[in-house]
Amino acid sequence: MTDTTDRVEDRLIAFLPNLRRFAISLSGSRDVADDLVQAACERALASADRFEPGTRFDAWMFRILRNLWIDQIRRRKTAGVQEDISDHHELSTGTGEREAEARMTLKSVAEAIGELADEQREVLLLVCVEELSYRDAAEVLGIPIGTVMSRLARARKNLGVAAGIEAAPARSDHSKGVRG
Amino acid sequence: MTKADFTDETLMRYADGELDAATAEALERDMETDDDLVARVALFIETRAAAKEALRPLLDEPVPAELTASVERMIAGKRAAGVAPQSGAGKPEAVVIPIAAAREVRRPKPVWLLPVAASLVAALVGGFLGFRLEQGGDIPPRGDIIAGIDSPALRQALASVPSGQEQQVDEHRFRAIATFTDRRQETCREFELDSETRSTVIAVACAAEGGWRVDFAVAAPGDSSGYAPASSTEALDAYLGAIEAAAPMAAAEEAAALKAIREPSKQ
């Protein structure tokens, strides 16, 4: 029944760089990410028969990995560990600036992405970076497509402000809707 | 003549190629004469390009050889055995307690739980919550586990303890982890129960008429500090995936959902 060209075990290795990038971007830590990727692969292989040939393998894998990550966050919160992982987000290669400095200087795009709210960052990663459709992103995140769109729009406006991505010639001040 | 008022989301959908043709056409017409509109669209085009560019180095980063090797081993194992790979060495093994009746009712299609469960050792917990199960036994008779878990005090805790908080329930420590809806829009709660000396039980219960139905439970041995080891949460993750659990509710949303369960008449 399983299509030999569409088997999870045949596709996993080639997909590792993407999976790892998503994991690093979600967790902000390479160590955490590598564990997540490993756990997600293990899960994917164990549930390979759940993957429907013809559907998007990347979306399926992202969903598995993200579910693992969400559960880790839940546990960390419940355990009362207050460590905010985004404090040491490793998206950029440089060291993070102090907040006061950061407020004065524009951030790199990678830093700005790292500082987005989790729910905004993940949808940005899936759509803009991994090029999933809104519908596939909604699947991965388990949220309605309308929520994907509203979060994604907010993520990009916030990113634009933080990283100084100007909306072309600043002919008028149209800052409405931008969260300050 | 007034122009259509395009929302940010509409402009973003245009930038992402997700806008229907008719609206896209109308938007393009207006953009010819409206620089501000062009600039707003440009923001979405540019943020997309910038995000992609900024994270490209992560994609080029070599995957650690250890990780690749580990995944290759798992794949080889699967190819060789044609079965689910075992959990990583050194991790405590979780014990899955299948709940026969619940599975029957609640599984419209094969769930992830089963292959994962098969990869875990099928030993059973004896005496944890006052029920006794035979070592190596199969699926326990329906009701044993639910009856063991489903005490009035637990029902009360499920309907009232906010996620992240603990409460003593009978002789166990009850810890609410999260509240979410499943694919049927039922309100479900993930929680843990610790006993003084034994394992932690991780469970999911969903609000059902007149109470709570425990649909999933995993007992994680060892670790008297509470907090179940990661391997047992893998089974849980698989289960949550299978029931299409939504993201955990925020505190206010959860409070409202629990209130609705406590006071069904006021809905």
What lies within 8 Å, CB to CB, of A74 at 6+ separation is B177, B178, B190, B248
Closest Cβ opposite residue B55 in set A21, A160, A169: A21
Euclidean distance between CA atoms A177 and A128, whole angstroms: 20
Collapse the DSSP code of B128 into the 3-class scheme (helix H, G, I; strand E, B; otherwise coil) and give the result: coil
Euclidean distance between CA atoms B216 and A119, whole angstroms: 27
Minimum Cα–Cα distance from B52: chain A residue? A129
Determine the straight-line distance between the first and last CA of chain B, rounded to whole angstroms: 47
List beta partners, residue B150.
none
Give the pLDDT confidence of A41-88 residue by residue, as tens digits: 999 999 998 898 888 999 999 999 999 999 888 887 776 554 444 444
Test the A interface: residue of B5, B6, B8 with most A CBs within 10 Å: B8
Q: Nearest C-alpha of chain B: how many angstroms from A144?
A: 10
* Domain locations in chain B as residue ranges: 8-58, 92-266
**Any idea which architecture A92-167 has in CATH?**
Orthogonal Bundle (1.10)
State which amino acid sits at residue A43: R
Test the B interface: residue of A129, A134, A174, A176 with most B CBs within 10 Å: A129
State which amino acid sits at residue B50: A
Range with top average pLDDT, A91-100, B60-69, B242-251: B60-69
Euclidean distance between CA atoms B217 and B215, whole angstroms: 7
Closest Cβ opposite residue A71 in set B63, B115, B237: B237
pLDDT band at residue B263, thresholds of 50, 70 and 90? confident
Task: Check residue B87 and give its pLDDT.
Answer: 44
Task: Check residue A171 and give its pLDDT.
Answer: 39
Task: Check residue A73 and give its pLDDT.
Answer: 85
State which amino acid sits at residue B121: V
DSSP state of B218: E
Q: Please give the average per-residue pLDDT across A22-46, as a whole number.
A: 94
- The interface residues of chain B toward chain A in range 2-31, judged by CB-CB distance below 8 A, are 8-9, 12-13, 16, 18
- The interface residues of chain B toward chain A in range 72-101, judged by CB-CB distance below 8 A, are 72, 74-75, 78-79, 84-85, 87-88
Using an 8 Å Cβ cutoff, are A140 and A126 in contact? yes
* Domain locations in chain A as residue ranges: 1-90, 92-167
Angle at Cα A46 formed by Cα A45 and Cα A48, nearest 5°?
Answer: 60
Collapse the DSSP code of B260 into the 3-class scheme (helix H, G, I; strand E, B; otherwise coil) and give the result: helix
Residue A171, chain B, CB below 8 Å: the answer is yes
Tell me the backbone φ, ψ of residue A16, rounded to 5 degrees: -55, -45
Residue B236, chain A, CB below 8 Å: the answer is yes
Radius of gyration of chain A (CA): 18
State the burial class of residue B8 (Cβ atoms within 10 Å of its Cβ: 0-12, 13-18, 19+): buried
Q: Does ipTM come in above 0.90? A: no
Taking CB atoms and an 8 Å limit, are A143 and B190 in contact across chains?
no
- The interface residues of chain B toward chain A in range 108-167, judged by CB-CB distance below 8 A, are 110, 112, 115-116, 119, 163-164
**Is the predicted pLDDT of residue B109 greater than 70, yes or no?**
no
State which amino acid sits at residue A5: T
B50: nearest Cα among A120, A13, A156: A156
Using an 8 Å Cβ cutoff, are B122 and B141 in contact? no
Tell me the backbone φ, ψ of residue A7, rounded to 5 degrees: -85, 140
Taking CB atoms and an 8 Å limit, are A128 and B51 in contact across chains?
yes
Euclidean distance between CA atoms B84 and B78, whole angstroms: 6
Euclidean distance between CA atoms A34 and A20, whole angstroms: 7
Residue A159, chain B, CB below 8 Å: the answer is yes
Give the pLDDT confidence of B88-106 residue by residue, as tens digits: 444 444 444 444 333 333 3
Taking CB atoms and an 8 Å limit, are A24 and B87 in contact across chains?
no
Fold of A1-90: Rna Polymerase Sigma Factor; Chain: A (1.10.1740)
Residues in chain B with CB shorter than 8 Å from the CB of A34 are 64, 66-67
Residue A163, chain B, CB below 8 Å: the answer is yes
